[in-house]
A and B are shown apart, each in its own frame.
Chain A
Amino acid sequence: GNSVTQMEGPVTLSEEAFLTINCTYTATGYPSLFWYVQYPGEGLQLLLKATKADDKGSNKGFEATYRKETTSFHLEKGSVQVSDSAVYFCALSDQGAGSYQLTFGKGTKLSVIP
């Protein structure tokens, strides 16, 4: 079956530090890959996505590149801010029975300190 493995947190960084959150996946087909972000007490928001190999998704200074050869989709940001403190989820999609189902990693909690 499909699975997503994320680096375990929590991750604590100082403001303006470089961020990398590792994500690797296992899938039988050619899934789309996503990063979602969850701020405290809220639902999940789509941060970025990539639909095929070598695609780069980007949004709000975050980037991730779909690497088929290493089955990875690592999230990066060059300079984090306190407002980036949240839980980040890597996910992949798998079409089945007319719906696209998402398989999520366990999430990585990021805390950015001033």
Chain B
Amino acid sequence: SQTIHQWPATLVQPVGSPLSLECTVEGTSNPNLYWYRQAAGRGLQLLFYSVGIGQISSEVPQNLSASRPQDRQFILSSKKLLLSDSGFYLCAWNLRGYDEQFFGPGTRLTVL
């Protein structure tokens, strides 16, 4: 069966520090991968998606970036965090041709 992992589970970082969040999927090949952010009191905002290694599409211009160095690995990064980057970050996957997405457990990021 397929599983999706995210780490760390929680993170507290100072403003201006770098960020690296990791997401990995097991039990499947060639998944589409997604990064969402959920801010307090707001819905889910799609940040990036990827249909293959090295292929990244950005939905929202910001100081975040994403990379996909391996088929089942998706990384969310920032060189300098802002206060507004605080939130709950969710990784998700699905297979090409299928519309439902499966979500990881999330990373709670607090920028102070």
Any chain B CB within 8 A of the CB of A32?
Answer: yes
Interface residues of B in 87-112 (CB under 8 A from A): 90, 92, 94, 96, 98-106, 108
Counting CB contacts under 8 A, is A12 at the interface?
Answer: no
| Known contacts A98-B96, A100-B32, A100-B98; A106/B42 CB under 8 A | yes
Whether, in the assembled complex, A69 has its beta carbon less than 8 Å from a beta carbon of chain B, the answer is no
Given A43-B105, A44-B90, A106-B43, check contact A101 B100 (CB 8 Å).
Answer: no
Q: Which residues of A contact B82 (CB under 8 A)?
A: none
B64, CB-defined interface residue at 8 Å: no
Task: Tally chain B residues at the interface, Cβ within 8 Å.
Answer: 24
A93 to B32, CA, bound (A): 14
Q: Does A89 lie within 8 Å of B99, measured CB to CB?
A: no
CB <8 Å contact, B90 and A105? no
Interface contact B49-A101, CB-CB below 8 Å: yes
The answer to whether A42 touches B105 (Cβ under 8 A) is yes
CA distance A26 to B92 in the complex (A): 23
- Are B49 and A46 neighbours in the complex by a CB distance under 8 Å? no
Q: A43-B90, A100-B99 are in contact. Are A89 and B105 (CB under 8 A)?
A: no
Contact of A99 among B6, B51, B105 (CB under 8 A): B51
Docked complex Cα distance between A107 and B43 (Å): 6
Contact of B103 with A44 in the complex, beta carbons under 8 Å: yes
Contact call B106/A42, Cβ cutoff below 8 A: yes
Question: Please, what's the 1-or-0 string for A26-40, where 1 marks a CB less than 8 Å from any CB in chain B?
Answer: 000000101010000
- Please name 11 pairs of A and B residues whose Cβ atoms are closer than 8 Å in the assembled complex, sorted by A: A41-B106, A41-B108, A43-B104, A46-B101, A89-B44, A98-B32, A98-B96, A99-B51, A100-B100, A100-B101, A106-B42
- Cβ-closest 3 pairs across A and B: A93-B99, A106-B43, A43-B103
